[in-house]
Structure 1
């Protein structure tokens, strides 16, 4: 207590006064802070985190010109015959019909006559660390082994024209290090956006002691739970992933309503989007809480699609991952065909026709649909075929070729939160470009006829792909 003459001031009064002063100051400066935050940052990292970086001078970077091809720029207009595309460094500086100005100092001109030029493809659901070779069971798994598998997968993807990928759950920091290695030109691969570790409740999907479908116990879990419980733990788990430089947050079901809402709110408060692997009522709860993407069409309720439309939720169906499970399983991983087995968080039947029906329902409702593969095993021969098969599944679900191609490029970029940098061929965008031998609007199979791949401005494939 402080005494001044006849005035008595208690510690409580001092604290109350300090609080009122602080509130007044915050109220006075908040509009100015908000205004400052709205000012665009001139240069940011080319990922979802949008970290401010020093200005980049690209004026001395080599100029590459594409001529003669038919351009599908991804903006929804008609194909542009005899097009010109000008690249400098990692950016597109011009794109349009013949007559588009071309710098005199071009380091290289690529004649794309008779070919089709389009934006690089995007895979929104992969796991770099889950690739398995035919005899990987002989070896103990580790982050080093996962990094080897992931590096191989990265090369498989980019040489097929997949120039951006979102990893939605990884071992340790493997996907982050693959991202950095691609950025630095150490390895070939797509632009990587990673989600860190899957956040699950104790015993939930991603934290079960037994592995999906096989029933075998995971030696790295045993009696040591890795899940998180209660809204505060879910918030803390989100903060930890953001601290680890995650571009996205990945959560899973089952979880209670408050846990899902807490994780989504926390991520959004930090400017990071959220994907969920879910089913049933948990899906409805997550959509209502504002989750950004729903992964998989598993056990969707009749309310799910209307809720997605209402809340602006995007859908990444990964249809092929479940058709593989139904039609042949994953023999080298010891997973039989027919469905999920031995998995507590997968106690329901999967049905391919129902999945296609749900995708069609979402498509007709105007829900944004992206392309994701989610092939957990046998990637050494399932990629890149799995990606092109996924496009065919979307077509089977009722989507037009043009809309499937948009899902793989411009729509996928928007879902990825990278629509201002990827997904279309126009000035200012990142130079991720695929050139194929025939019109993909006539047949999506023509995307397999890769002639050139340019990723981040670098020529990755020249001539027919392997």
Structure 2
């Protein structure tokens, strides 16, 4: 029986109910205790699952890093059964079950929650020869499958895809859930909702400036509040966990999309800039992606309205530090684009992240690498952690952004982000202490995803 699509049993129901009641409130629905639900943002009810006969895997002897409060626990024991953590604590009071199927000696190692990337695109291009080949959903699925393996092998056990070609990210999600491919658990956003001619609907290539073949054809953009509502409904109908919208758009369109998504119990991310960002924050958008051309009002508004921030600093620094040569995108910034007519300023990006951090805005880790994935991942993730450190976050705060805070931003905080009983068994074990140096996250010894040992060195 596949367990990834299900929640914990009775031990987790109370916490799940609290989380569901706290956000978002569904109109005209009685707030009653929910049965078990899917392990995604949609929280669709499913029949209860009995894990009592599932194999038990144990980590013992390592230092357990609690990203929730910064504390650590030496000589710890973590007991997992099926896809859930059933016990986590000091060895003196956390016995190793006699019927454990596998006991991993983690003495001298460091045990922490799996890492989270809140901004990826499974269907982006790869390779120095990408220009030789036509693109298609099938080709994108092959690329995305390769990227999924890269991510989970590096200890990134949960991701949010915020814009995909057709249903590729959904099928990768299903492939991981069913055990067909290796990868992180996936939350996906369907297709970007944009206005006609806006970001995501331009007919000019940002690499060459040439007009795309679709010029003159049917636009994928939507216009007016009702069309934006319909576009949200269509993505939810297609099983999206999140809605992704993009600027430019007017105030009524942004508000309509956000209100519609929230009424359906689905959160919203926005790729935005300038005044559009301020309008979206005031309308209740859940996450702001990128620090592009932020106004001085943006961070105070984010604090006031509870907006989370996924800066993706590295994606834009790449443009300043070499571009994306295989895609023909030169160094310096955005070119040939009508919807992004502004200069990229790395120091301003870092300043905005620092400002948001000081204000107490939740900050998550996202990479957003559009090209050359085969050699930019997983390095892009660890570089992003260093950018957050440059913006003023301490090592402990960066680790929290990559785990506990990231899970909360993803709307999965009751299931992911910390190692405690009832949560999903997504765990990274490193050979060196990441608290002293974030580079030690690269020293991967074990990766456990959904209770299965995906990467594992021989036990000593």
TM-score (normalizing by structure 1): 0.91
2:30 is paired with a residue whose SS is helix
1:79 aligns with 2:41: no
* Alpha-carbon distance, 1:214 to partner: 3.3
2:123 is paired with a residue whose SS is helix
Q: Cα deviations across residues 338-379 of structure 1 (Å, max 9, x unaligned)?
A: 000010011000100000000000000000000000000000
* Alpha-carbon distance, 1:235 to partner: 0.1
1:111 aligns with 2:105: yes
1:456 corresponds, among 410, 431, 450, to: 450
1:148 aligns with 2:142: yes
Give the conservation status (yes or no) of the 8 Å contact 2:27–2:263.
Answer: no
- In the TM superposition, 1:18-417 aligns within 5 A as 37-99=30-92, 100-220=94-214, 222-417=216-411
Q: Cα deviations across residues 380-410 of structure 1 (Å, max 9, x unaligned)?
A: 1000000000000000001000000000000
Whole-angstrom distance in 2 between the partners of 1:215 and 1:131:
18
1:431 is matched with 425
1:83 is paired with a residue whose SS is strand
Whole-angstrom distance in 2 between the partners of 1:36 and 1:266:
16
* Alpha-carbon distance, 1:41 to partner: 1.2
Structure 2 vs 1, CA of residues 35 and 96 (structure 1 numbering), >3 Å: closer, same or farther?
farther
Give the conservation status (yes or no) of the 8 Å contact 1:235–1:263.
Answer: yes
Q: Cα deviations across residues 33-74 of structure 1 (Å, max 9, x unaligned)?
A: 989731221310000000000001100000001001000132
Give the conservation status (yes or no) of the 8 Å contact 1:128–1:149.
Answer: yes
Whole-angstrom distance in 1 between the partners of 2:214 and 2:266:
29
Q: Cα deviations across residues 82-132 of structure 1 (Å, max 9, x unaligned)?
A: 100000000000001112132211000000011000000000000000131
Whole-angstrom distance in 1 between the partners of 2:330 and 2:70:
46
Flag structure 2 segments of 5+ consecutive residues without an equivalent: 1-25
2:249 is paired with a residue whose SS is coil
1:399 is paired with a residue whose SS is coil
* Alpha-carbon distance, 1:411 to partner: 0.1
Give the conservation status (yes or no) of the 8 Å contact 2:207–2:327.
Answer: no
Flag structure 1 segments of 5+ consecutive residues without an equivalent: 1-32
Give the conservation status (yes or no) of the 8 Å contact 2:70–2:396.
Answer: no
Matched residue count = 432
Give the conservation status (yes or no) of the 8 Å contact 2:130–2:327.
Answer: no
1:25 is matched with none
Deviating above 2 A after TM superposition, structure 1's stretches of 4 or more consecutive aligned residues are 33-37, 211-214, 216-224
Give the conservation status (yes or no) of the 8 Å contact 1:131–1:380.
Answer: no
Give the conservation status (yes or no) of the 8 Å contact 1:131–1:150.
Answer: no
2:118 is paired with a residue whose SS is strand
**Greater C-alpha radius of gyration:** 1
Whole-angstrom distance in 2 between the partners of 1:89 and 1:34:
35
- RMSD between aligned residues: 1.3
Moved more, 450-459 or 38-47: 38-47
Whole-angstrom distance in 2 between the partners of 1:35 and 1:429:
30
Structure 2 vs 1, CA of residues 221 and 113 (structure 1 numbering), >3 Å: closer, same or farther?
farther
Whole-angstrom distance in 1 between the partners of 2:262 and 2:407:
19
Q: Cα deviations across residues 131-181 of structure 1 (Å, max 9, x unaligned)?
A: 312212111100000001100000000000000000000000000000000
* Alpha-carbon distance, 1:78 to partner: 1.6
